[in-house]
Structure 1
Amino acid sequence: MAAAFIKLYPENPDPRRVNQIVEVLRQGGIIIYPTDTIYGMGCDIFNQKAIERICLIKGVKPKKQNFSFICYDLSNIAEYTRALSTPVFKMMKKALPGPFTFILDANNKVPKMLNNKKKTVGIRVPDHSIPRTLVKELGQPILTTSIRDEDDVIEYSTDPELIYEKYKDLVDLVIDGGYGNNVASTVIDCTGDQIEVVREGLGEISEIL
């Protein structure tokens, strides 16, 4: 059966449709959704079978893939990470919500499937109402992994209708939140002695350091 295709307006997400999407997540479904950067694919972080399905879709092994997940806010992040140093906390407070992924030390609440050997995890709080509303209603984070295009020119798909055509037989639901961006988030590793920029993306690093 083809995936559901649901239109949501970021400025005012319809609560009835949000509940419908959250129910799909609760039942172990995989969804595609907009963020403040590129469209993402995800599921409930505590559903192992759904994570395994995403790995199959992407052709990766769960233990070798560095997954990130979306939290609602800074206090939500604290539930899944070890204590943050003051400089890291101040930087994240400036940056979030925003187009940044922070690599942090994971605590025991993070599912083992999302932990790599270093026991770290990527965290996002996008500046976009749709994924944050979903997280809030679900009551826990959702996994996020980018939808990468095989085209050498267009690295990331931005048109939700084209995304739907490509993934409708692989996922359970695609959200049309309008055209996405084609630049990924800036990734910052906060697990070492020095803060390290792993990937420069949409976020302006100079504004938060």
Structure 2
Amino acid sequence: MSLLLEQLVTKLKRGDALVLPTETVYGLFADAMNETAVNHVYHLKKRPRDKALNLNVSSLEDILAYSKNQPAYLKKLYQAFLPGPLTLILLSNDAVPTWINSGLDTVGFRLPSHPITREIIQQVGQPLIGPSANLSGQVSGRVFEQIIKDFSNQVTGIADDAAILGVDSTILDLSRPQARILRQGSITKQQLLEKVPELVFEEDSLSGYHEMDSSI
């Protein structure tokens, strides 16, 4: 691991927030298990506290460690689309802190495919939060220098504007007997069904989306 990555991992472990690239937009990352660090991100983004956060993880094993009652096809879905622009919503277990899912019984999982961000998540060794790097209610961050200005130079990170596609991840809710697409991103329902025909969708699987804005 390079000296720069070591320094960034150290910052995260001590509770700092970092702007890191994903394959969708930039995220504002911090240690999900550190309540003070999570509160700092809420403060920086001016994000309402009732807006739950996703866990950014590095493996299927991580997803299993923080969820329960997973569908039988989860591994197949993981192998087909992750890491990549897909957010999975599952029932949370007791390992998920209340400051992450705002008292809900579900939690979102994200596995960014950007190699540097993936490496950082792996090296930290536990989940990170990573909501989009913008002030709450504004357009998701896509230009590194502008993001730093928007946060009044209170954060640092890694710039890779070329990696930013600007299309948010598809949010797939698997917490109920039938799946729901809560946000249509770059992965379509048809693509999901082609790879995982076992998926059964609710009739109108886009109707439930309203609480997960500012997600990557």
- Under a length normalisation based on structure 1, what TM-score does the superposition of the two structures give? 0.84
Q: 1:59 aligns with which of 42, 46, 52?
A: 46
Could you tell me which residue of structure 2 aligns to residue 162 of structure 1?
Answer: 146
State yes or no: 1:178 paired with 2:161: yes
Determine whether 1:113 maps to 2:99.
yes
Aligned 1:25-36 pairs, distance under 5 A: 25-36=12-23
Residue 37 (structure 1) aligned to one of 24, 39, 52: 24
**Sequence identity of aligned pairs in percent?**
27
The counterpart of 1:198, out of the listed 174, 178, 182, is 182
For the 8 Å contact 1:43–1:142, the answer to whether it is kept is yes
TM-score normalized with structure 2 length: 0.81
Aligned length: 192
Cα gap change, 1:104/1:29 in structure 2, threshold over 3 Å: closer, same or farther? same
Tell me which amino acid in the other structure corresponds to 2:27.
G
Counterpart CA distance in 2 for 1:208 and 1:117 is 29
- Alignment check: 8 A CA contact 1:188 1:198 kept: yes
3-state SS of 2:158 partner: strand
Moved segments of 4+, more than 3 Å: 148-152
Which sections of structure 2, spanning at least 5 residues, go unmatched? 194-216
Q: What RMSD in Å do the two structures reach over aligned CA positions? A: 2.0
Query: 5+ residue gaps in structure 1?
Result: 1-13
Distance 1:67 1:111 in 2: 11
**C-alpha separation between the residues in 1 aligned to 2:186 and 2:46?**
26
Does the Cα contact within 8 Å between 2:8 and 2:157 map onto a contact in 1?
A: no
Amino acid corresponding to residue 175 of structure 1 in structure 2: I
Matching residue within 58, 62, 65 for 1:72:
58
CA distance in 2, matches of 1:107, 1:149: 30
Q: Shift of the alpha carbon at 1:208? A: 2.2
